[in-house]
Amino acid sequence: MENTLIKVAGMSCQGCVNNIVGVLSALDGVASAEVSLDSGEAHVVFDPQRIARSALLGAIEAAGFDAE
């Protein structure tokens, strides 16, 4: 498993946080996802053999947020 920290912009409420957690958690290869509205960050534990970090960023962006 690998840990990554992703900066997320565009979140304004707990609903945004819940949306991103749901999107990330649904991806095959993601073990856990925690998102903080205060810090604007997502901490994701994932299996790099099953999903690339770029796919995590793409999923966040597809949900309507900016990720880097």
The CATH number of whichever domain residue 10 belongs to comes to 3.30.70.100
pTM of this structure: 0.92
Element (H, E) at 60: helix 53-62
- 57-67 pLDDT per residue, tens: 999 999 999 99
Residues 6+ apart with CB under 8 A from 33: 20, 21, 24, 25, 42, 43, 44, 45
Count of domains forming the chain: 1
Residues 17-56: tens digit of each pLDDT:
999 999 999 999 999 999 999 999 999 999 999 999 999 9
Domain housing 52: 2-67
